[in-house]
Amino acid sequence: MSLLIDLTKSVRGKSIDKVTVVLHNKRTSICNQCPNLLMTGNCKLCGCFVNDKAKYIDEKCPINKW
């Protein structure tokens, strides 16, 4: 999935730079405790796949948790 996201972000002129594994784990840990995380792994607020979105430096939580 990340390769497809990288391609899509590149076409849109966005950065595909990724965070460290430690930061990715911290972000997903925060999301895993959030009541807006659906059982599918999607955020109820923005619809993203949290595990994928949390990998990118330029992405952020829609309610500023990270």
pTM: predicted TM-score of the whole model, two decimal places: 0.84
The answer to whether residue 2 scores a pLDDT higher than 90 is no
Structural domain harbouring 32: 17-66
Question: Does 1 fall in a domain?
Answer: no
**15, 9 Cβ separation under 8 angstroms:** yes
How many separate domains does the chain show? Answer: 1
Q: What is the pLDDT of residue 1?
A: 61
pLDDT tens-digit profile of 7-63?
898 888 888 999 999 999 999 999 999 999 999 999 999 999 999 999 999 999 999
Distance CA 3, CA 16 (A): 10
Question: Does 5 fall in a domain?
Answer: no
The DSSP bridge partners found for residue 37 are 43
